Structure 1
Amino acid sequence: MNFVKRAGTSLGARKSKTAALLAIFLVICALLLGGFLLKAAAARQEADAQRTIGVDVTVRKEGLTQALADRLGALGPVHRYNAEVPVRAGAQGLTPLTSQVPEPGGAADGEKANDALAVNGVRDSGMLLPFSYGSTKITAGRGITPADNGRDVAVIEQRLAEKNKLEVGDTVTVRSADGKQTTAVTVVGIFQNPAQDPTLWVAPNELPGNTLYVPVATAQKLGSGTATVREAVLKIGSPDQAKQLHAETEKLLGKGGFDFRVNEKAFKDQVLPIQRVGTFAGLLVWVIALAGALILGLIVMLQIRERRSELGVLLSMGEKKWKLIGQHAVEVAAVALPAVALAALAGSIAGQPAGDAFLGRQDDQPASVARTPEDGIAPPTVRVEAADVGKVAGIALGISLVSTVIPGIGILRLHPRSILTDAE
């Protein structure tokens, strides 16, 4: 009888042991597939985290211009950047907020009016720490984006908007501190700053409610051409790229003429745990593969001992020893393939909840831990792909081969007479 057909007959005759072997293989394949799915989901989430969180590098230099900031933003490791130009400005047809505490000594009304607003020229407001980590939120409209370059738009604080009954789409006029330049800006967003007004008197431009964000070019017009970029914040994917960025920045700005600071706290708080999950998933695959081969090898070894009489009869009938080993390999492989299919089905059902448990953000995270940027890390996406199922099938067949060939070496040393004699 063909040893492949004999393997099928043997599996049908030993239904309970076949079912037990299928259950063991199903657990092994499910854990293997889970490891692959978790590793792939961690890799996708890590890539998204590096894009949205990454590492912020702040470059400061005296006399830093927008042109230099743009060249810094074009350097190799940088995938997003922001330049900030702070100026003071006055309001025309707009009533700034004032301190509720009386001013000691008093000051001229003209001085108050000409610099009552703190205007921050930015290229990308989403990269400002208060916005990126959620302490300051956009409550209406949107923030300043690179697409606003060349446009006169503004994002204003909610308290200032409420006092002047402003909404998204309204236009306000801002005047330079020297009173020589006026610019009409369109309100494209309203934000809420959680900072409370100081309990002591402060100048109007120091009140959190009198803050506006505008594009850099608008701020430079209000600064009468004297405003310079205070700092450029460059976002890179990981701390490993900081050294390369420093070298390229040094070539552009010269040695020792700039301040270069790397802020990797958010990366460590959010990305490193994802990397650890990916590493754990990779180790899990190896451990399961080795443990599965060992467990199945022991099971096959016990089966060979139980079936010594069958082996002796077949050998006495002239059956070749390699075919006996092949029969055991086919039996195990025939159980492995359905187990892979069942594991793929289980992975498609339970994979996403498992990914959420390992990679999902926790709601009870302490406030001291840096939060994700405004877009946030995308939720873990766990999906069963053909490549992952193929890997599991390959490993399962490999385990089948190893778990039958190694114990089957003993079959090569058997002799029909000794087997049948021992079995009596």
Structure 2
Amino acid sequence: MDFILRGLLSLKKRKGKGIILLAIMLIVCLVILSGFGIQSATKAAAVLARQKLGAEVTLMQDMQKTMEKMRAQQDPAAEPTRGKGITRASVPIEYLDQLKGLENIEGYSLENSTGANLGDGVIAVASETTEATTATTKVAGGQDGKMKAPVSKGDITLIGINDFSFASEINNGGGELVSGSAITENDLEKNVVMLEEVFANDNKLAVGGTIKLKNPETSVEFEASIIGIYKTNSTVDDTAFRNTAMMPYNKIYAPYTFVNTIKGSDYTGKVDSIKFFLDDPVNVDKFIEEGKKTNIDFETFVLDGGTREYDQMMAPIENVASFSKITLVVVTVFGAGILGLIIMLSIKERINEIGILMSLGEKRIRIIGQFLVEVLVILVMALSVAAFTGSSISKVATDKLLANELQSESQNQSQGMGGQMPQNMGRQGNGGGFSKTKVEKIEELNVKITATEFLQMALLAMLVVIVATIIPSLMIMSVNPKEILSKNS
């Protein structure tokens, strides 16, 4: 084992070159360690993003494709006309049978909604800035561009469901049953409703009573029995202050079959959306992939698991992860090249020593082993330093990269959408329109260097060092010892 001793003595003599190698190896180790740490943190962030968005998948109209079809059907040579709106596509209830048998489903909610007027002196809850009477809106007319007469949107919003406990707002903690019974699938085909507590108290309505509702367009009146009172936890936003129908207290729940009856015969056997609640957010992508294998018309509809929101949340993080991958490859390759060059120059300076050892009968493999001992001792020192400083340095570097990505994305968004459809458009709210989902950015990557990442880094760094040492050593060892000594005499 004398070659090991020679290697240690050589390190003692060549402290300057040892320090240079130590610095290069430490940089390589830290970059590799940061790369592995970022990859691991990215996977954890992906799970966190899914958890924030929830384990919900909604089958609804694909607004992106609807807009694209509209643009494709427009004649570029024709003058633009006012009043051409988006055609609403309701989801056939028969699609439920194709999806409810898939794995990981805990429940589902069929939902539709419409505005309705109130009868018998019942009035909607209104703020001081809104009127308690029916909300109206001007509707764009035909090609002449004139505005039609105001059309009523209804005093209240009637929300059709199949099960109150799985209704979107209620399932997310937006409300709870106060008295009476909740709507279940046993109430389908019945004219029953659930009123909000404030609305019921203001109008002195209770469980067991009745309420009359009218179609805002046809004025056809329907009577419904009150089977339950619920309390909403939703807050009043600016839209609700301007429109009584959007006030959370004015949301009345009913079986979706009853809502379809009020809306008209064209809506029989259809709903606005079908929402599936899964057992775990990590199963969302799997559910969507399995759903795409069914016979659902995905040219019109889409299984939305918050994909756009997920992409927005993960975009900066994935950019950082991608950059770290590129950096990892570049540093590994160039680090090996630089180490190989330094080691080759060092070996060339010791050519006379090599010639003498070989002439004394020392085997080539043992001489190469000596060089390996020297670089591996330096590598152990680099790994020791990296073990203590790797986590903090990785976190600082990651935070800086992520902050730059977030700033760059924010600047791009501030420059406008460039005429594109907003990313958050397409999620249907209980009011039948489209809700603007506020995407909560992930502004921090929790980079933790575990034993697994450190072991991966150590093995890769060791491979780099061994390759960088063996290749130049073999090139020099291939010559005859007499030639080495004759050239240096």
* TM-score, with length taken from structure 1: 0.70
1:185 matches 2:216: no
Structure 1 residue 402: Cα displacement:
0.7
Residues 121 and 358 (structure 1), Cα distance of their counterparts in 2 relative to 1, 3 Å cut? farther
Give the count of matched residue pairs: 377
Any idea what SS the aligned residue of 2:449 has?
coil
1:195 matches 2:197: no
Structure 1 residue 394: Cα displacement:
1.0
Residues 57 and 275 (structure 1), Cα distance of their counterparts in 2 relative to 1, 3 Å cut? farther
Structure 1 residue 245: Cα displacement:
2.0
Residues 295 and 373 (structure 1), Cα distance of their counterparts in 2 relative to 1, 3 Å cut? farther
Deviations 1:112-137 (A, max 9, x none): xxx63213356353699xxxxxxxxx
User: Aligned partners of 1:271 and 1:82: how far apart in 2?
Assistant: 28
Structure 1 residue 330: Cα displacement:
1.5
1:84 is aligned, of 101, 111, 114, to 111
Structure 1 residue 13: Cα displacement:
2.3
Q: Which runs of 5+ in 2 are unaligned?
A: 62-87, 137-153, 177-181, 186-192, 214-221, 264-269, 278-282, 425-435
Residues 237 and 103 (structure 1), Cα distance of their counterparts in 2 relative to 1, 3 Å cut? closer
User: Aligned partners of 1:150 and 1:193: how far apart in 2?
Assistant: 29
Structure 1 residue 61: Cα displacement:
7.2
Any idea what SS the aligned residue of 2:224 has?
coil
Residues 181 and 154 (structure 1), Cα distance of their counterparts in 2 relative to 1, 3 Å cut? closer
- Contact 1:38/1:281 (8 A) holds in 2: yes
Structure 1 residue 317: Cα displacement:
2.7
1:385 matches 2:428: no
Q: Which amino acid aligns with 1:18?
A: G
1:20 matches 2:20: yes
Structure 1 residue 183: Cα displacement:
3.7
1:96 is aligned, of 108, 125, 132, to 125
Any idea what SS the aligned residue of 1:383 has?
coil
Deviations 1:172-194 (A, max 9, x none): x9945234312442314122323
Structure 1 residue 85: Cα displacement:
2.8
Any idea what SS the aligned residue of 2:406 has?
coil
User: Aligned partners of 1:26 and 1:419: how far apart in 2?
Assistant: 34
Give the match for residue 229 of structure 1: 271
Deviations 1:9-52 (A, max 9, x none): 21122222212111100000111111111112222223443554
Residues 142 and 357 (structure 1), Cα distance of their counterparts in 2 relative to 1, 3 Å cut? farther
Give the match for residue 131 of structure 1: none
Q: Which amino acid aligns with 2:157?
A: A
Deviations 1:214-262 (A, max 9, x none): 77xx555975987863222469845x97565233253xxxx79x94136
Q: Which amino acid aligns with 1:413?
A: S
1:209 matches 2:255: no
Residues 213 and 324 (structure 1), Cα distance of their counterparts in 2 relative to 1, 3 Å cut? farther
Q: Which runs of 5+ in 1 are unaligned?
A: 106-114, 129-140, 165-170
1:308 matches 2:351: yes
1:419 matches 2:484: yes
- Contact 1:294/1:403 (8 A) holds in 2: yes
Residues 232 and 290 (structure 1), Cα distance of their counterparts in 2 relative to 1, 3 Å cut? same
User: Aligned partners of 1:248 and 1:104: how far apart in 2?
Assistant: 41
Q: Which amino acid aligns with 2:468?
A: S
Any idea what SS the aligned residue of 1:181 has?
strand
User: Aligned partners of 1:196 and 1:317: how far apart in 2?
Assistant: 95
Any idea what SS the aligned residue of 1:83 has?
strand
* TM-score, with length taken from structure 2: 0.62
1:336 is aligned, of 354, 369, 379, to 379
Deviations 1:102-156 (A, max 9, x none): 9899xxxxxxxxx63213356353699xxxxxxxxxxxx94259xx985998889
Residues 269 and 119 (structure 1), Cα distance of their counterparts in 2 relative to 1, 3 Å cut? same
User: Aligned partners of 2:132 and 2:169: how far apart in 1?
Assistant: 33
Any idea what SS the aligned residue of 1:248 has?
coil
Any idea what SS the aligned residue of 2:446 has?
coil
Any idea what SS the aligned residue of 1:195 has?
helix
User: Aligned partners of 1:284 and 1:84: how far apart in 2?
Assistant: 49
1:72 is aligned, of 96, 99, 106, to 99
Q: Which amino acid aligns with 1:384?
A: I
After TM superposition, the structure 1 = structure 2 runs for residues 14-413 of structure 1, keeping only pairs within 5 Å, are 14-50=14-50, 52-53=52-53, 57-58=59-60, 64-65=92-93, 69=96, 72=99, 75=102, 83-87=110-114, 88=116, 96-97=125-126, 99-100=130-131, 116-121=155-160, 123=166, 125=168, 142-143=173-174, 175=211, 177=213, 178-195=222-239, 204-205=244-245, 208-209=246-247, 212=250, 218-220=254-256, 223=259, 229-233=271-275, 237=284, 244-250=290-296, 259-261=300-302, 264-359=307-402, 362=406, 365=410, 366=413, 370=423, 376=440, 379-413=444-478
Residues 104 and 225 (structure 1), Cα distance of their counterparts in 2 relative to 1, 3 Å cut? closer
Point out the more displaced range, 44-53 or 358-367.
358-367
